[in-house]
Amino acid sequence: MIDKDTILSNWDLSTVPSPCYVLHETLLADNLRVIDKVRKATGAEIIVALKANAMWSIFPELSRHSDGATASSLAEARLVFEEYGAPAHTYAPVYTEGEIGEILNCSNHITFNSLGQYERFGRRAHRAGVSCGLRVNPEFSTVETDLYNPASPTSRLGILAADLTHLPEGIDGLHFHSLCESRPDDLRGTLAAVEERFGRFFPQIKWLNMGGGHLMTHKDYDEEELIHILCDFRSRYPHLRIILEPGSAFTWDTGCLVATVEDKVSNGGVDTLMLNVSFACHMPDCLEMPYKPAILGTHEPAEGEKRWRMGGNSCLAGDYYGDWAFDGGREPRVGDRIVFRDMIHYTMVKTTMFNGVTHPSIGIWNPETGFRLVRKFGYEDYKNRMS
């Protein structure tokens, strides 16, 4: 893999508007090389999960380095069908009478979250020629954040082994998803649990979807170990199509959110830089996970070093994160750029227009041609979400 730190530290963002999400094409290409390596070495199908990134302006590039895309709603299924150019692998926690017909028109695989949903809509899916699967709960997960762990025995997501006494007629596949930004050992443990609880059904199915959370493009991820795990599994079940649908891996650390310091506030001994972006509106995972994002040109404050909190521009009291120290002891000023790293996945898809704060634009950076603005948001976008 390339040295992303060097590329980002030398990135000229002077022509980029603020606020703006900016995807770097060189960094995306490097991730796609890793994904292609795993696809080629294992024969597994790796598909793009729109829930992590639905930036359809890069679908043509993603489609050349994947085996399709997965959707979790009618809107995502339509976007896959219309802009990705292929039917979707669709899973949603629940389908409705009003939407199932259009979802099936946009899908070639559909996974049902419960036996009740399959009984209700399975025949219609078969008539549409769509391959049907069931989501199962392995009751095993290494994910420590409850918000992102769907594998507890009381989870509403997936069928428990105790409740799946036999495989209903017409089921082609099983689907599990209990990883989140995980490593190969996490998949190994999960697969063992799936085999123990559901392996008796493997001879009866055609495909096994191992869900997302395979963070194979992280610099510390051992993709060779992932290849070994998948090849070993395929050697034991050669008739199964293996499907992975990583969300973050495709666009992990491929771009930034460019913001600007608009004010400096010091209260109660805490120094805050007031930005033209919001953690709550534009970087929600920072507060939900929670996790502290990297900012170019900063580091963790040492003892006695000047530290700065970053404040969002919504009126939510908790719309802030901290603390950072600026490299070289630099004193930030109003008008300075603040560049949050790794802000392409699970950002744009989760943003809100709370308070009507200015919504970041979306752009793409090419090292040869420079910055290209893809989308700018304005008042009409806010107004049209209301009534």
Indicate the annotated binding residues for substrate: 285
Q: In residues, how long is the chain?
A: 387
The C-alpha atoms of residue 185 and residue 29 are separated, in whole angstroms, by 26
Q: Which residues are annotated as a binding site?
A: 285
With a CB cutoff of 8 Å and minimum separation 6, the contacts of 255 are: 21, 22, 23, 24, 27, 28, 342, 343, 344, 365
The C-alpha atoms of residue 229 and residue 232 are separated, in whole angstroms, by 5
Q: Beta-carbon neighbour count of residue 28 at 10 Å? A: 23
Which of 255, 251, 275, 250 is closest to 263 using CA atoms?
A: 275
User: Regarding beta strands 270-275 and 255-267, do their DSSP bridges make them parallel or antiparallel, or are they unpaired?
Assistant: antiparallel
The C-alpha atoms of residue 285 and residue 218 are separated, in whole angstroms, by 18
Residue 317, phi then psi, degrees to nearest 5: -60, -35
Residue indicated by tokens 């194979």: 216
Q: What distances in angstroms separate CA 375 from CA 167, 225, 348, one per listed residue?
A: 46, 39, 12
Residue 60, phi then psi, degrees to nearest 5: -55, -40
In the sheet with 207-209, reading across from the earlier edge strand, the strands are 45-46, 241-244, 207-209, 171-175, 131-135, 107-112, 88-91, 69-71, 48-49
